[in-house]
Amino acid sequence: MKVVIIGGVAGGAACATRLRRLDESLDITIIERGEHLSFANCGLPYYIGNEIKERDHLFVATKSLFEKRFKINVLNNTNATAINRDRKTVTVDDGSKQYEVAYDKLILSPGAKSFVPDLFADKAGVFTLRNVPDADRIVAYIKQKQVKKAVVIGGGFIGLEVIENLKRLDIETTLVEMSNQVLAPLDFEMSQYVHKELNDNGISLRLNHHITALEYKDNGSMLLTLDDGQILESDIVILSIGIRPESSLAVDSNLEVNARGYIVTNDKMQTSDKDIYALGDAVEVIEPILGGKTTIALAGPAAKQARVVCADIVSGDYSYRGTFGASIAKVFNMQASSVGLNEKQLKNSNINYECVLLHSPSHASYYPDSSPINFKLIYDKDSKKILGAQAVGIDGCDKRIEIVSAYMAKDGTIDDLAWHEQVYAPPYGSAKDEINFAGFVAQNIEDNLVKQCYVHDVKSLCEQGAIFLDVRTQAEFDVRSYPNSVHIDLNTLRDNLDKLDKNKTIIITCAVGLRGYIGARILQEHGFNKVYNLAGGLQSLFMANYKVK
């Protein structure tokens, strides 16, 4: 059997090597338009910042390795120009000649390309970052032009990683983002921690803005005009606005694509032609929570899709179950991770969901170097199923999100989190971990032990006459408090119940929500029926109101 693979990197390269491990008799050919078949594109920003010092470390596998170890025919620096489905061949162009390569099974792993608005197309000093040549050009330009100022457009994963690494080079950097936040998988109040971390490391943010004009000064530097008339001066611009699928081959050969141009596949990763498979950044996949379709440009899902493709070709029986989009980004000293759906996505659904906000230590607080993990859990109130989670902090976010992701894959519920058993020693966690606390709080809500309100509810509730009750200590209250708060130390709350009106709505809060919960239970046990604990406490409220610089 002849198997032809178009495209390398995560998906295509994984297919090629796994097919060989499964069947020595296959005739496998991989076609890659670039020089490098398998490289660590997630490492490119760190190569720019000299965190990864050796360029060769970016290459996962070479042409020689594919040919000698795996007996795979490698056609690199070769462009696949057409799929001839009627005669089952691919037309290729290696720069010197055109010819056809026959296949019995064809695998498409074309990836995606960076989106470049017309304003920036073919402009000097403007770059995107998708492959090693892109990184080489950026590194060379920074050195040649002795870049001192940079503008990064787009606050996604690549944009933030580039920003950090430009800062490592002592380049003054400004981020321009059209949305009101960075990192779209996070909800706004969670992204605020990332905004502060960027500001604390000298990065200027221009959120809710876009570039309307680009001009060049005599010295070659650029003047970028924002939509509000503000002008930014920069020596280099790096675009991280988004991607578009490289699906032209599929379109030209009349394979089914969706409205956005992503290749449509079934659970075996087959396209509308049963002998042609597709995977990676260019395909539409199952979104398992709401049962719809989505697109995920991550290496992990692509590698798993490769196993499904290979199994189907070699007579296995795997099905791709979709992806929850588990991801993490390093932003200077901070981790920002998430899995599943966020509130922005759920607000457009008919799901009756609830959120839990926590600020628990990464490990036992009495052990050195513990730091808070700002954690958000979202679940379905009707089924108790976990819908998503977000974690932002200095340490331990990856572990907590991976635990949630594992339970989601098994249709896990808030009860699973409450009873989750994980390893414990003071340097690594707490006897009751944040995962457990998330489940406990959710159970308390569903058992009607407490009602919550959220940071975005506070202003309107207070304007309607609600009492904002702060139960922290006097010393904490004196440092910082919410305007017009009523202060009663939790330890004296039972002695001061007469100072509160049972007919009024009471928002009770503390630093992070735990003492607020205790206070809410006291009030409810004494006949106060309109009591709401502020989810996440004042930590969430103050951070949600952080003023970005």
Residue type, 282: A
Sign of the CA dihedral 182, 185, 188, 193?
negative
Closest alpha carbon to 390 in 545, 184, 547: 184
Residues 437 and 458: their CA atoms lie apart, in Å, by: 24
Q: In Å, what is the CA distance from 463 to each residue of 313, 314, 484, 529, 549? A: 64, 66, 11, 19, 28
**What whole-number distance in Å separates Cα of residue 486 and Cα of residue 250?**
64
Q: Coil, helix or strand for 163? A: helix
Q: Give me the catalytic one of 42, 453, 462, 510.
A: 42
The radius of gyration computed from the CA coordinates of the chain, to the nearest angstrom, equals: 27
- Catalytic, 310? Answer no
CA angle 323, 328, 331 (to 5 degrees): 155
> Are 90 and 6 a contacting pair, CB within 8 Å?
yes
Comparing CA positions, the residue from 53, 281, 48 lying closest to residue 171 is 48
**Residue 348 CB coordination number (10 Å):** 8
Under 8 Å between Cβ of 534 and 453: yes
- Bridge partners, residue 32, by sequence: 76
CB neighbours of 27 closer than 8 A, spacing ≥ 6?
1, 2, 3, 73
Single out the residue of 433, 448, 285 nearest to residue 370, CA to CA: 433
Provide the β-strand partners of residue 388.
Answer: 340, 378
Determine the number of helices (DSSP H) and then strands (DSSP E) in the chain.
16, 33
d(CA 253, CA 64): 32
Q: Find the angle CA(481)-CA(487)-CA(489) to the nearest 5 degrees.
A: 110
Pair type for strands 236-239 and 149-153: parallel
Enzyme catalytic residues: 42
